[in-house]
């Protein structure tokens, strides 16, 4: 377990080193990036092997920081955090592999990238609300620069919109946190202390504080109707940043809801539950239907992320062990799958075809020109459709089971959402890679489209993500055995029961 703080350290140290290395050569900066993310992944896996699942957060580091405010640098993990830390490790490594073609200002790129990763690790490991918020902000700022400097389509607009939405959400969160901190007597930001005090707040205050915290965090999780930053931001971002945005950063929002808002104000959760669930369902269906009619390849994937995150939020709203366990599993699963999809669209396809317009791609026999991309995209698409055998299936199944217990009607709409996901995924597979198949027996017209061959980092990155999604698809208990005991902690139980601990 004590290896976990190193993930943060490796990332921030890697960021500084990458900046230095970038002044010498881009290749060196890339290597620094890969080493730093691999070191982080190794630290998480080492911690995972020594992890004993159990209820409650297990402290890994606890130092005083700002005694006047009762802020401590308190890092701790349970099965939920560990799942998301492993997700971050894998997604970050894959992201570097898919950024291997960055030549322009590579040092700065990887420095920002690693800063973002460090912030993400920090959020997942914080047991102190203030510390969590600091890391949360650290994770937001680099996104702006990554998109604005290395992005594509409409990048200034996308970057600005994303950051404004994120900061608006943060402002709500900060307001909620400070209010709760003051109301609790202003002695401590520790989650456990805040939760103990929160039970005595007037009910109206609890409802309002929960609203501020939950919706503030949910902006980043892509809750409908605050999701509009996500598709534009994902599309504008460079590939690795899209992968991280959809794969990891959106999870920060959902994690904040689960770790901060829900355990602090369980009674308020029960009151807000229907509203959250219906917004989540609206997101699942609306984003899915919008994805069905996009003509930009990357927008399809961008909207699909909003749709999939709707399942996470629905699972949280259903608030029972099955549904929340499923939601955490879905966070992991979507991190892998969204990473893969963005990697195929942004790196494997776009860097070669220089177009993302589906009608243009339809004219190219892509499945023959890029068979590797086709295979990866079909497998990722199957996973995204919730096909059994991939990680999305046990996650969505658990969410459906839990949601059915909370309300069969919600579950019915969620099932319709699965169908919509299948429809848009299949459409985009069909149009993008298999648009021109009449010539199944012709030799590939390779000279018409001189595409660069697929490189080893692309293969390695895709293999890493695919292997993870298949492994968890066939053995979801590897993660569920971490997640379920964590849901037995007093704080989580309170959230799931809808009453004080």
Partner 1 sequence: MSNLPLLSLLVFLPWIGAVALALLPRLSEVAQRRLALVASLSTLAVALALLSGFDPARTAPQFVEKHAWIAALNVYYHLGLDALSLILVLLTGLVAPAALAASFRSGGFRGFAAFFLTLQGAALGVFLALDFFHWFIFWELSLIPAYFLIKIWGGPGATRAAYQFVIYTLGGSAFLLLGFASLFSAAGTFDFQQLAQLGADGSLARKLGGDGSWLPQAVFLGVLLGLAVKVPLWPFHTWLPPAYAEAPTGASMFLTGVMSKMGVYGFLRILWPIFPRELQAAAPWLMVLALGGVVLGAWAAMRQTDLKRMVAYSSVNHLSYCLLALFAVAHASGKGGAVSEAATAALSGTLLQMFNHGLSAAALFLCVGVLEKRSGGRRGLDDFGGVRTVAPFFAALTGVAMFSSLGLPGLNGFVGEFLIFRGVFGLAPWAAAVATLGLLATAIFLLTFWQRVFHGTVAGATPGFRDLTLAEAAPLLPATALMVILGVYPQLLAGLINPLVTAWAGHLTPP
Contact set with partner 1 (CB under 8 A): 322, 325, 378, 382, 385, 387-389, 394, 397-398, 400-405, 408, 411-412, 414-416, 418-419, 422-423, 426-427, 430, 434, 437, 440-441, 475-477, 480-481, 484
CA–CA dist 17, 15 (Å, integer): 5
CA–CA dist 495, 274 (Å, integer): 15
In the complex, minimum distance from the CB of residue 449 to partner 1, in angstroms, rounded to a whole number:
19
Judged by beta carbon, residue 224 or residue 433, the one nearer partner 1 is: 433
Judged by beta carbon, residue 36 or residue 420, the one nearer partner 1 is: 420
Instruction: Write the DSSP assignment of 398-442 as a string of letters.
Output: HHHHHHHHH-HHHHHHHHHHHHHHHHHHHHHHHHHTSS--TTTTS
Judged by beta carbon, residue 142 or residue 476, the one nearer partner 1 is: 476
Residue 363 makes CB contacts below 8 A (sequence gap 6+) with: 435, 436
Closest to 232 (Cα-Cα) out of 144, 167, 298, 316: 298
Judged by beta carbon, residue 68 or residue 441, the one nearer partner 1 is: 441
CA–CA dist 109, 292 (Å, integer): 33
Q: Which helix (H) or strand (E) holds 365?
A: none
Instruction: Write the DSSP assignment of 156-182 as a string of letters.
Output: HHHHHHHHHHHHHHHHHHHHHHHHHHH
CA–CA dist 246, 263 (Å, integer): 25
Judged by beta carbon, residue 293 or residue 426, the one nearer partner 1 is: 426
In the complex, minimum distance from the CB of residue 490 to partner 1, in angstroms, rounded to a whole number:
21
Judged by beta carbon, residue 430 or residue 455, the one nearer partner 1 is: 430
Closest to 428 (Cα-Cα) out of 293, 325, 314, 310: 293
CA–CA dist 500, 494 (Å, integer): 6
Preceding amide of 495 cis, omega within 30: no
In the complex, minimum distance from the CB of residue 478 to partner 1, in angstroms, rounded to a whole number:
9
Judged by beta carbon, residue 126 or residue 432, the one nearer partner 1 is: 432
Judged by beta carbon, residue 203 or residue 475, the one nearer partner 1 is: 475
In the complex, minimum distance from the CB of residue 405 to partner 1, in angstroms, rounded to a whole number:
5
Closest to 190 (Cα-Cα) out of 342, 70, 367: 70
CA–CA dist 118, 11 (Å, integer): 5
**Cβ–Cβ under 8 Å, residues 92 and 244:** yes
**Cβ–Cβ under 8 Å, residues 307 and 284:** yes
In the complex, minimum distance from the CB of residue 428 to partner 1, in angstroms, rounded to a whole number:
12
- Nearest 5°: CA angle at 355, between 104 and 426? 120
In the complex, minimum distance from the CB of residue 420 to partner 1, in angstroms, rounded to a whole number:
9
In the complex, minimum distance from the CB of residue 70 to partner 1, in angstroms, rounded to a whole number:
38
Judged by beta carbon, residue 69 or residue 415, the one nearer partner 1 is: 415
In the complex, minimum distance from the CB of residue 351 to partner 1, in angstroms, rounded to a whole number:
25
Judged by beta carbon, residue 258 or residue 398, the one nearer partner 1 is: 398
CA–CA dist 291, 345 (Å, integer): 15
58-66 and 71-77 beta bridge pairing: antiparallel
Closest to 7 (Cα-Cα) out of 90, 131, 71, 107: 90
In the complex, minimum distance from the CB of residue 386 to partner 1, in angstroms, rounded to a whole number:
8
In the complex, minimum distance from the CB of residue 416 to partner 1, in angstroms, rounded to a whole number:
7
In the complex, minimum distance from the CB of residue 315 to partner 1, in angstroms, rounded to a whole number:
12
CB atoms within 10 A of CB 343: 28
Judged by beta carbon, residue 158 or residue 288, the one nearer partner 1 is: 288
* Partners of 71 in beta bridges: 66
């Amino acid at each position: 377990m004590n290896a976990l703080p190193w993930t943060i350290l490796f990332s921030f140290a890697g960021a500084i080193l990458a900046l230095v290395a970038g002044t010498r050569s881009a290749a060196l900066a890339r290597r620094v990036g890969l080493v730093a993310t691999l070191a982080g992944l190794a630290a998480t896996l080492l911690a995972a092997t020594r992890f004993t699942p159990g209820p409650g957060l297990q402290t890994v580091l606890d130092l005083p920081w700002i005694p006047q405010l009762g802020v401590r640098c308190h890092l701790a993990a349970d099965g939920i955090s560990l799942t998301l830390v492993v997700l971050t490790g894998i997604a970050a490594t894959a992201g570097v592999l898919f950024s291997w073609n960055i030549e322009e200002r590579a040092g700065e790129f990887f420095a920002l990238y690693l800063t973002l990763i460090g912030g993400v690790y920090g959020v997942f490991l914080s047991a102190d609300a203030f510390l969590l918020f600091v890391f949360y902000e650290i994770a937001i700022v680099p996104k702006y620069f990554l998109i604005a400097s290395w992005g594509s389509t409409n990048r200034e607009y996308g970057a600005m919109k994303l950051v404004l939405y994120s900061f608006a959400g943060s402002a709500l969160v900060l307001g909620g946190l400070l209010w709760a901190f003051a109301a609790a007597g202003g002695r401590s930001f520790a989650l456990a202390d805040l939760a103990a005090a929160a039970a005595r707040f007037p009910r109206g205050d609890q409802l309002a504080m929960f609203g501020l915290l939950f919706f503030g965090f949910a902006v980043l999780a892509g809750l409908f109707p605050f999701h509009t930053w996500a598709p534009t931001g994902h599309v504008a971002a460079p590939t690795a940043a899209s992968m991280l945005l959809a794969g990891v950063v959106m999870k920060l929002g959902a994690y904040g809801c689960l770790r901060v808002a829900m355990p602090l104000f369980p009674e308020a959760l029960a009151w807000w539950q229907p509203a959250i669930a219906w917004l989540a369902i609206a997101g699942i269906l609306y984003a899915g239907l919008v994805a069905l009619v996009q003509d930009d390849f990357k927008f399809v994937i961008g909207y699909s992320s909003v749709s999939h995150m709707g399942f996470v939020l629905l699972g949280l709203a259903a608030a029972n062990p099955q549904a929340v366990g499923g939601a955490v599993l879905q966070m992991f699963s979507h991190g892998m799958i969204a990473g893969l999809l963005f990697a195929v669209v942004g790196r494997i396809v776009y860097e070669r075809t220089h177009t993302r317009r589906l009608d243009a791609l339809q004219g190219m026999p892509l499945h023959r020109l890029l068979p590797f991309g086709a295979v990866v995209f079909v497998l990722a698409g199957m996973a995204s459709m919730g096909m059994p055998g991939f990680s999305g299936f046990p996650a969505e199944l658990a969410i459906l089971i839990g949601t059915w217990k909370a309300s069969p009607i919600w579950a019915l709409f969620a099932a319709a959402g699965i169908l919509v996901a299948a429809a848009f995924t299949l459409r985009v597979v069909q149009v993008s890679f298999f648009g021109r198949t009449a010539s199944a027996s012709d030799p590939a017209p390779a000279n018409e489209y001189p595409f660069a061959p697929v490189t080893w980092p692309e293969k390695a990155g895709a293999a890493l993500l695919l292997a993870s999604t298949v492994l968890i698809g066939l053995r979801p208990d590897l993660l569920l055995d971490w997640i379920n005991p964590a849901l037995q902690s007093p704080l989580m139980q309170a959230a799931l029961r809808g009453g004080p601990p």
